[in-house]
Structure 1
Amino acid sequence: MRPFFLSPLLVSLAVGAAILPRSDVVSYDGFKVFRINTYGHPSAIKEKLSGISFEQWNGDIYNHLDILVSPSQIGPFEELGLDFQVMHENLRDSVVAESEPRSVSKRQVDDLSWYDSYHNYEDHIQYFNDLQESFPNNSETISSGKSYQGRNLYGLHLWGAGGPGKPAVLYHGNVHAREWITSPVVEYITLQLVTGYTNGDNLVRSLLDQYDFYIIPIVNPDGFVYTQTTDRLWRKNRQPPPSGANQSQIGRDINRNWEFGWDANPQGASTNPGSQTYKGEAPSDAPENQGLDKLVRQLRDGPGIKLFIDWHSYGQYILSPFGYKETLYAPELGKWTKAASIVSETIRDSSDARTTFTFGPSGAVLYPTTGAAPDHVYSIGRAEFSYTIELRDTGNFGFVLPPEYIRPTAEEQWEGQKALLSLLDEEFFDGEGPA
C-alpha cells in the first residue's frame, strides 16, 4: 500500500483559537458537564432545572441526564441540590487533550497508529483515497452528493468476486458533527474489509463476495469542519435558517430531516431553527439528505439494501426502527432484536472493558425521533436490517471521547460487525418476521 501523508491536526476550540485568533471560536473554558441521577423521574428533574440555562447532551433521561453548564450557571445549578457527578471539570481542558496534535510522518494506510488520534477532514479524504488505491480492482470512490457549502459526501464502494451488483451494506458516519468517534470506527471497518480480502481472510472474502459495501464516513462535512475550527460541540449542518428567522440560527439536524416520518410526532424533532434537533422547513430540504436519499433509492431499485447502519455517539445502544412512536413495532422486530443481541454479546465478549450495548426499538428504548435515517432507510429504502449504533461511552466523557478510546472502540465494533454480517441470512431468523 502506498505511503500516506498525514498533515497536522487542525482542530480544537482552544488550540484552534491559538492558531486562528478569531473572536467566534468557542473555547468552553470553565464550562462543566454534569451527570444528574434522575431515579426514574426525569420530569421532576427538568422542572428543577427550568430556572437555569443548560444544554442537554444525552437521551437516556429516565436514569440520568447529562448537561453542559456555562460558568455563570454553575453556582445556580449546584444550589439546586441535585444528585450528580462531574463528567468534565473544565470542558476546555478535555477538548485540548482530545485534540492535541500528534507528531506524524509518512506511513502505510494499514498502520494502526492512524487510530491513536483524531484527524482533520482533508486527511480523512486522503485516507479513504489511499484505501481505494490499495484495493483498485474491487473498489471505487463514490459521492453521495454535496453539502450545503459544496463539500463532497465522499465514500467507497467495495465488492468481491463476480464484480459489483450484489445486495448492499450501507454505512453512514459523522451524521452529527461533534460525534468524532464515528468516522474512525467506520474507517477501521473499511480497512479490515480491504486488508482481510487482500490477505485471504475467509470470512472477509465471503462477506465481500456476498455483499457490496457502500461506506460514507462523514455525511456532515460542513458541520465536522466547523467542530474543528470553531465550535467543538456543533451538531447540525451549516445551512442558513429560513427567511424571516434569526439568521444566527444556523443548521438543520440531518437525522431529523429524512422524508419518512418527518412530521409524525411533534415530540420527535423541533420546528425552531435554533434547536439542536431542528428538522428543517420540509423533508429533505438539507442538501446532504437529498444526496444520501438519492443513493438509498438507487440501491433500493437495484440490488436492494441488506443492512443499513447510522453510526452515532454516545450511550452504547443498538437501535432499530421505529423512532417516531414509542409503541410502534415493525413486523421484523423479532429478527432485528435477535441480531442485535448477538452483536451486543459479541462486543462484550471481545472487549477487555466488557463493553455493554443496550438494544431495542429506538422510540421505546430512548425517545421519539422523527425524520430519522433508520426509519427512512427501512420504510422507503426497504432495508432488511436497519440500525442506529450509538458508540462509547455511557457518560464518563460523552461527545469528547479521549483518543486512547478510538482503537478499542473500533476494534470491538469490527467484532460486532463480523458477527452481524455473518448471520444476516442464517436460518435462525425463520419465523422472526418477513424478510
Structure 2
Amino acid sequence: MVIQSVDSETEYPPIFEADADDIADDIAGDYFAQQTIWDISKLSNTTYHADYHPLHEIEDFMEDLAITYPGIVQFDYIGHTGEGREMLAMRLSKPTSLNLTGEDAHASNVRKMGFVITGAQHAREWIATSTALYLAHSLLADSAEDFALSSWLDYFDFYIIPVPNPDGYVYTWENDRLWYKNRQNIGPAEKCTGIDMNRNWGYKWKAESRLPSISNATDEFALSRPGKGVDADPCSTWYPGHRPFEAPEVNNIANYIQTLPNLSAFIDLRSYGQMLSIPFSHSCKKTPKDAEDQLEAALRAVNAIKQAHGTVFTIGSLCEQLYRASGNVVDYMYKKAGIKYAYSVHLRDTGTYGFNLPAEWIRPVGEETAAMINSIMGFITKIKRTPPLS
C-alpha cells in the first residue's frame, strides 16, 4: 500500500503506527535506554518544561510520555525530511468513559472529534515546539492538576506534531539559532538551501502576496510593511518553492491529515506577537463563511488566556494581523482539509525577546495556551460542564 502524495510527482511509504515498545529503537537508537533526568508523572513539577531541548531530548520526552501513559499515546511515522530524518506525530486517544445521554450526547455528536496541533514550522520558533509538548503532557496529566486537559480525551482525539521541521530545528541548535526554513536541497543549480514551509501549502500557493520589506529578517512580527510579491529567489527567507508541497515535510503532514477522521480543530503554534488568528492569510478582502463562529471562539479563548496569567492577545484574520501571504497552512486546513476551527497562534511575546524567549517563560506560555485550548474545545462541543482549569 502506498498513500498517494498530495504532491502527485512523489510517492511516500504508508503511514503506520508504533507503540511505546516498538519506537525506542527506531527513533534514536540507544538514547532511549538512558535514564532520563525529569519526572513526568505530574504536569506541575516536572523539570522538563523549564528549558528548551534539542531534538533527541524531545524524542526522549515523547517516548517517556508513551511509557508513563500506556494505552493512550501512539506514534505515527508520517514520512522523512529532506535530510532523511523521520517525522513523528503523537496520537493521543482513548475510549470514551462517558455514558452520554440527552443534551451532552447530542452536543458531542457521540463520535469523538479530531484536534490537530503543530509546533514550529519555522525552525527558530522554539517556544512553539515547547508549547506543543506542554500541551501533549497536559492532555495526559491527572485531571485534578491545574491546567490539565485530560478530561477532554473523552470527547477528542489529539494529533500533535511537535517538530514539523526537524532538519531546520536541528540546524538552529548546531549552526544558526535564527534559521527559518527547512533544509532541503533546492536543486543543483541553486546555491541556497530551504523552503519557507508556511508558504508551500497547496491552497492559493504563490498567489499575490506581500513580502516584508525590511532587511532584518529575524523579526517576523515587525515585518508588516508591504514589499513586492512572492519572492522567487531561493535564497530568500520567504522562498515558497518551485511548486506547492515541494517541501517533503509539508507534503508529509498534508498526507497525514488526509488519513485522520472527523477533524474539528487545527492549531498552528508560532511565535511571536500574542495573536490568535483565523483564515485567511492569502487575502485581506475575503472572509471565511465560518468567521462568526471562529471569531466568537477566539474571543472566548483570548479571555481564557488573559485569566490564566494576564497576557493580552488580539484576534483577527492572519492577513490583517500579520501580512498577506499565500500558501499558508491555516488557509489550507480550513479550505482543503475542511477543518472549521483552524487557527494560527502567535505566542509570547510582542518583541522584547522575540524568538529568543527566555526558558522560564515556557511553563506560563504552556499554561495559558492550555487555557486557550480548553476554551476552544468547550465552544466546539457546546458542553456546559467543561473541565475546570485553575
Shorter-chain TM-score tier: 0.7 to 0.9
Give the equivalent residue in structure 2 for 1:117.
Answer: 51
Note the C-alpha offset of 1:205. 4.9
Give the equivalent residue in structure 2 for 1:79.
Answer: none
Shift in CA distance, 181/202, structure 1 to aligned 2, threshold 3 Å = closer
1:244 to 185, 189, 204: 189
Deviation string for 1:10-40 (max 9, x for gaps)?
Answer: xxxxxxxxxxxxxxxxxxxxxxxxxxxxxxx
1:140 to 61, 74, 78: 74
Note the C-alpha offset of 1:288. 0.4
* Residue 253 of structure 1 pairs with residue 196 of structure 2: yes
Q: Aligned Cα RMSD in Å?
A: 2.4
Give the equivalent residue in structure 2 for 1:402.
Answer: 358
Give the equivalent residue in structure 2 for 1:57.
Answer: none
1:106 to 6, 28, 37: 37
Aligned AA (1:359): I
- The question of whether the paired residues in 2 share the 8 Å contact of 1:242 and 1:281 is answered with no
Give the equivalent residue in structure 1 for 2:250.
Answer: 289
TM-score by length of 1: 0.69
* Residue 414 of structure 1 pairs with residue 370 of structure 2: yes
- The question of whether the paired residues in 1 share the 8 Å contact of 2:201 and 2:332 is answered with yes
Counterpart CA distance in 2 for 1:105 and 1:284 is 37
Shift in CA distance, 262/159, structure 1 to aligned 2, threshold 3 Å = same
- The question of whether the paired residues in 2 share the 8 Å contact of 1:160 and 1:210 is answered with no
Aligned AA (2:86): N
Give the equivalent residue in structure 2 for 1:328.
Answer: 286
Deviation string for 1:169-195 (max 9, x for gaps)?
Answer: 001101100000111111111111111
2:85 to 131, 151, 171: 151
Counterpart CA distance in 2 for 1:425 and 1:211 is 10
The 10-residue stretch of structure 1 (374-383 or 137-146) with the greater mean CA deviation from structure 2: 137-146
Shift in CA distance, 225/334, structure 1 to aligned 2, threshold 3 Å = same
Counterpart CA distance in 2 for 1:414 and 1:324 is 28
* Residue 362 of structure 1 pairs with residue 318 of structure 2: yes
Shift in CA distance, 274/201, structure 1 to aligned 2, threshold 3 Å = closer
- The question of whether the paired residues in 2 share the 8 Å contact of 1:348 and 1:355 is answered with yes
Counterpart CA distance in 1 for 2:125 and 2:287 is 28
Give the fraction of aligned pairs with identical amino acids, expressed as a percent. Answer: 31
Aligned AA (1:380): K
Counterpart CA distance in 2 for 1:213 and 1:191 is 12
Counterpart CA distance in 2 for 1:377 and 1:142 is 19
Aligned AA (2:172): T
Give the equivalent residue in structure 2 for 1:190.
Answer: 136
Counterpart CA distance in 2 for 1:154 and 1:307 is 19
Aligned AA (1:138): I
Give the equivalent residue in structure 2 for 1:215.
Answer: 160
Aligned AA (1:391): L
Deviation string for 1:68-106 (max 9, x for gaps)?
Answer: xxxxxxxxxxxxxxxxxxxxxxxxxxxxxxxxxxxx972
Deviation string for 1:216-237 (max 9, x for gaps)?
Answer: 1000000000000000000000
Counterpart CA distance in 2 for 1:387 and 1:370 is 15
Note the C-alpha offset of 1:166. 3.2
Counterpart CA distance in 1 for 2:36 and 2:70 is 24
The 10-residue stretch of structure 1 (413-422 or 227-236) with the greater mean CA deviation from structure 2: 413-422
Q: Say which SS state the counterpart of residue 266 (structure 2) adopts.
A: strand
Counterpart CA distance in 2 for 1:236 and 1:222 is 9
Gaps of 5+ in 2: 1-19, 21-34, 98-110, 212-229, 385-390
* Residue 174 of structure 1 pairs with residue 130 of structure 2: no
Gaps of 5+ in 1: 3-103, 429-435
Counterpart CA distance in 1 for 2:164 and 2:57 is 15
Paired residues, number: 318
- The question of whether the paired residues in 2 share the 8 Å contact of 1:132 and 1:156 is answered with no
Note the C-alpha offset of 1:411. 1.1
Note the C-alpha offset of 1:201. 9.7
TM-score by length of 2: 0.77
Give the equivalent residue in structure 2 for 1:347.
Answer: 305
Aligned AA (1:121): L
Note the C-alpha offset of 1:242. 3.3
The 10-residue stretch of structure 1 (152-161 or 285-294) with the greater mean CA deviation from structure 2: 152-161
Give the equivalent residue in structure 2 for 1:310.
Answer: 268
Counterpart CA distance in 2 for 1:266 and 1:413 is 30
Counterpart CA distance in 2 for 1:399 and 1:202 is 25
* Residue 377 of structure 1 pairs with residue 333 of structure 2: yes
Note the C-alpha offset of 1:294. 0.3
- The question of whether the paired residues in 2 share the 8 Å contact of 1:223 and 1:237 is answered with yes
Deviation string for 1:97-118 (max 9, x for gaps)?
Answer: xxxxxxx972322442111111
